[in-house]
Chain A
Amino acid sequence: DVQMTQSLSYLAASPGESVSISCKASKSISNYLAWYQQKPGEAYKLLIYSGSTLQSGTPSRFSGSGSGTDFTLTIRSLEPEDFGLYYCQQYYEKPLTFGSGTKLEIK
């Protein structure tokens, strides 16, 4: 199985700041990577797919980059509503696998 590693389990930042969340695959997955946001009591929200393509409705302050094994989700100019859990997921091969999640807290 492709192991997905999110090295930061917790991150705190202030509104207006920029943050980056990393995700590393145990083998090359090309750009077959998605990012999700989960907020308490809400459904998961797909933010980005194909490593860098914004899903319809995702604010432009979100961006994704990377290819191969190393990927980054960047949120520029944080808004208070950006708190939550962020997960990466590879879909290069089955079984589909997820990172361990990064909890973003807004200071």
Chain B
Amino acid sequence: EVQLQESGPGLVKPSQSLSLTCSVTGYSITSNYWGWIRKFPGNKMEWMGYISYSGSTSYNPSLKSRISITRDTSKNQFFLQLNSVTTEDTATYYCARSRGRIRDYFDYWGQGVMVTVSS
């Protein structure tokens, strides 16, 4: 069974970088697409971006140059880095698998990790 698990610090200071790890078991990240989605307080959801089976990336333009998604195929993990965070980045962050291309919906999700940006 495909399982995803997010990990990372729950508290980040403003202007610093947020770094999260998604560990995948039961499926290789060298297939399909692997994304990050966040849910803000109040339930608004935002797709942040994903990394493909080949290592190519696609990002939400709203995050401009602040975001980077990378991977370590030897550990079957992929990572989110979000730079220059503000309090508006406070959210629950989810990693998920997408089938990609014309099937850009998410069929497996992690349980999410809550991140608070505060000094």
Contact = CB atoms under 8 A, between A and B. Distances in A.
State which size class the interface on A falls in: 20 to 34
A51 B6 CA distance: 29
Given A43-B111, A44-B94, A100-B43, A49 B105 contact: yes
Given A43-B109, A101-B43, A101-B45, A95 B62 contact: yes
Contacts of B4: 43
Given A34-B105, A44-B96, A89-B105, A95 B47 contact: yes
Interface residues of B, number: 24
B105 A95 contact: no
Interface of B is mostly: strand
Contact of B43 (A34, A41, A55, A85): A85
Interface of A is mostly: loop
Given A32-B102, A94-B58, A98-B46, 13 more contacts: A32-B104, A41-B111, A43-B108, A44-B106, A49-B105, A55-B107, A91-B102, A91-B105, A95-B60, A96-B60, A96-B104, A98-B47, A101-B45
23 contacts: A32-B102, A32-B104, A34-B106, A41-B111, A42-B111, A43-B4, A43-B111, A43-B112, A45-B109, A46-B107, A49-B103, A87-B45, A89-B106, A91-B103, A91-B105, A94-B58, A95-B61, A96-B60, A97-B47, A98-B46, A98-B47, A100-B43, A101-B44
